Amino acid sequence: MLKLSGLCAVTVDDMLLPRLSALVKAALDGGAPFVQYRNKTAPRPLRRAQAAEMLRICRGAGARLIINDDVWLAVEIGADGAHVGRGDAPGGSLLAAREALGPKRILGVSCYDDLALGEEAAKAGADYIAFGSMFPSRTKPDTTRAPLEVLGKARRLGLPVAAIGGITLDNAPQVIAAGADMVAVVSDLFDAMDIKARAEAYQNLFAARK
């Protein structure tokens, strides 16, 4: 099993590449081991440029870049992997996503509150499975809520488990204690006055668990 643990810094929808780069650099300076590039509003040429720059920054920091929702963009720029939700895999097939990424890239799959989706992802060759929204989320206010108990149950599938949705420094200990190996964070990280310090604080939660 691939060892995946710690903070996943999920990018904000920002059209300005220099500003986005500065935000991500701060998170990486704080020790974030993963960045998930996510931009739902930008046209593809801008998304490609931003993703390529995120990859360059991550390479310099020794971190991994995961592309949200776009397997082919991940392959095109040579990212470390892709994260897919419902309908995001090529042809709607997780097996096709696994094949497109190849054996060396990471495949993460959103399972919402559904363990059956986790089982399907595991059978298709996912490297980690994500559940949430764990708490009310400003990024996705209408998304499905998942109970904390699903994290512990998901660990029985033998894959690293990520928690997403409304994660803050205050509630992150709850999801880690419940079984999360990773926490994916948007607002509480990138809205912080000191992004580097906030990323360090998240990483310290995982260090304390060891």
- Label residue 123 exposed, middle or buried (CB < 10 Å: 0-12, 13-18, 19+): exposed
93 is catalytic: no
CB within 8 A of 23, min separation 6: which ones?
11, 12, 14, 190, 195
**Encoded tokens for 14:** 């920002």
Nearest to 36 by CA among 16, 20, 22, 54: 54
Catalytic residue among 38, 98, 105, 198: 38
Catalytic residue among 21, 25, 48, 140: 140
> What 3-state class would DSSP assign to 101?
helix
140 is catalytic: yes
CB within 8 A of 59, min separation 6: which ones?
none
The residue written with tokens 């059978």 in the block is: 123
The residue written with tokens 């360059």 in the block is: 56
110 is catalytic: yes
Catalytic residue among 5, 110, 133, 137: 110
Catalytic residues: 38, 110, 140
